[in-house]
């Protein structure tokens, strides 16, 4: 089992973490104005490798969580579509804390 992971609110399309970090998933909530989408890439933009995708109806949340996560090779880039109320990315930074509890 992995230890605790961090999370951060993403409010615009941008690179969220640097190469070497671990992506664990995210939470998307759409506005009441319509469906929302978010695409997550390993790269510096939308030309990177698509590693996760969210699509929800108006006012609906969707959560993805990967216990072991994916190691980011080039950087984690999040592309927000329209009608995104909130998107939080779950990740461990480049230098993750030691496993808790420690493995003997």
Q: Residue-wise pLDDT tens for the chain (104 aa)?
A: 457 788 889 988 888 888 888 999 999 999 999 999 999 999 999 999 999 999 999 999 999 999 989 999 999 999 999 999 999 999 987 654 444 444 45
Which pLDDT does position 95 carry in this prediction?
53
Residues of the domain holding 61: 6-92
Contacts of 49 (CB under 8 A, 6+ apart): 41, 42, 43
Inside any domain, residue 1: no
Tell me, yes or no, whether 51 lies in a domain.
yes
pLDDT attached to residue 26? 96
CATH number at residue 26: 2.60.120
The pLDDT of residue 18 is 82
- Please count the structural domains in the chain: 1
Q: Does 101 fall in a domain?
A: no
DSSP per-residue string spanning 24-51:
EEEEEEE-TTS-EEEEEEESSSTTSEEE
pTM higher than 0.75: yes
């Amino acid at each position: 089992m992995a230890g605790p992971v961090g999370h951060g609110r993403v409010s615009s399309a941008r690179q969220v973490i640097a190469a070497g970090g671990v992506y664990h998933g995210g939470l998307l909530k759409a506005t009441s104005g319509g469906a929302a989408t978010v695409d997550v890439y390993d790269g510096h933009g939308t030309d990177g490798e698509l590693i996760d995708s969210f699509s929800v109806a108006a006012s609906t949340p969707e959560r993805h969580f990967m216990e072991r996560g994916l190691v980011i090779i080039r950087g984690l880039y999040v592309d927000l579509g329209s009608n995104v109320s909130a998107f939080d990315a779950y990740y461990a930074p480049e230098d993750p804390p030691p496993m808790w509890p420690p493995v003997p």
